[in-house]
Amino acid sequence: MSDTTNKKIHLLNVIIFCSLLLLGGIASMAMKKEKVSVMENRKLASFPEYTDSTFWKGKYFKEIEAWYADNFPFRDKWIDLSGKIRSKFGYESSEIKMYDETNDADANLKTKDTTKEKINNGPLPDDGATGEVKKRVFVFKNRAFEMFGGGAAMGKSYADVINSYHKLLSPGIQVYNLIIPVALEFEITEKYANMQKPNRPAIENIYNSEDPAIKKVWAIDSIRPHRSEYIYFNTDHHWTSLGAYYAYKAFCVTAGLTPVNLDTVASKVKPAFLGSLYRLTRDEGLKNNPDSVRYYLFRDSLNFYTGNATIGNWTRSKMYGEGASGPNSYSVFLQGDLPIVKMETQHKNGRKIAVVKESYGNAFACFLINNYEKVVVVDQRYYTGDFINMLKAEGINELLFINNIFAAHTPFHIEKIKGLRK
């Protein structure tokens, strides 16, 4: 190739490269700017306001860089394409697909003969299906699972906090505790049994550490017989309303209540829900296995209120956030993670319960309007009011702590629950 031809090729490359940069810049400036990324379920960066302070600290141009990255043309499509390309780098064998060195799944465990009792209470028999660990999430059969690994000492710390409320509030208020198992507890096969700690011993450790007068709800035993049903989402870390219903039935047994029969209740469904674990992994199999969010339209008349830190300051609202959609579909329950809400029903049985929860409790608490005169729901992460005096002001005589097993073994949640008792 002659020097002249070579120079022309280099010049053409420079022209094409600069043209692409120019067109990208023009498109970025001209295209409509979105405020929220539906794919990532977060607010996008806005163009920064200039100040001398941010300029001299070097923050101004970093904020411009963040704004440009968030508003790059067809950003979501590029991210989706990137995920597809990265997935092609995984090594796939007949046993397990490995994407990085942190994947410590044992692909060499042999299939064992499994008794009916073990099938019902432990890992399922190996069926040849393979899984992968991706972004600390176990992706298996086009579903995503968080892997529990909490220790006994942390579980006891959680129990100690629940005990402190029982000591403070008894005998006037009956305290309940319900620990929600993780989805992988019911889907894991023998081949991957070492991917997480069994949930039941961890729950038993907490319950055994609590005062005998605290009523413990064995939701895990109520859910397990329904392990083949749609009780947890495929792409999200929450349970479905059906999973919450089986826990509610277990609570009714413990609390001496009659559960509502779902066969008599109409429902609505929000389709095409890709949840938190899909957003984390961007796994193509999860994308092709989207969820739906079902919520039940109970016949009981209901007054629903949202509140704040001020005791008695209630605003009339609705129990379901009908506007929730897409990646926010789970927020249909109780309108999402509000600090405090109240539900008053036509039941005049004198039973008034407060529920202290994280987001798993949203789907659960809706069922309680079928049994209680009043239900007050407090999110342990966001409520900043005087919790104890609020219980007195609302005439609460029952108190349920409901947390998923991760929250019950996490210092953040334990401290938040403890902090309500100020």
**What string of pLDDT tens digits covers the 422 residues of the chain?**
577 777 777 788 888 888 877 776 676 667 666 665 555 555 667 777 878 767 776 777 677 767 666 666 655 555 555 555 544 444 333 233 322 323 333 233 233 333 343 445 789 999 999 999 999 999 999 999 999 999 999 999 999 999 999 999 999 999 999 999 999 999 999 999 999 999 999 999 999 999 999 999 999 999 999 999 999 999 999 999 999 999 999 999 999 999 999 999 999 999 999 999 999 999 999 999 999 999 999 987 899 999 999 999 999 999 999 999 999 999 999 999 999 999 999 999 999 999 999 999 999 999 999 999 999 999 999 999 999 999 999 999 999 999 999 999 999 999 999 999 97
pTM higher than 0.85, yes or no? no
Contact 327, 38 (CB under 8 A): yes
Handedness of CA 346, 351, 352, 355 (dihedral sign): negative
Contact 293, 302 (CB under 8 A): no
CA 254 – CA 215 distance, rounded (Å)? 7
Q: Is 198 exposed, middle or buried (0-12, 13-18, 19+ CB in 10 A)?
A: middle
Alpha helices in 183-336 (DSSP H): 184-187, 199-208, 219-223, 241-255, 276-281, 284-287
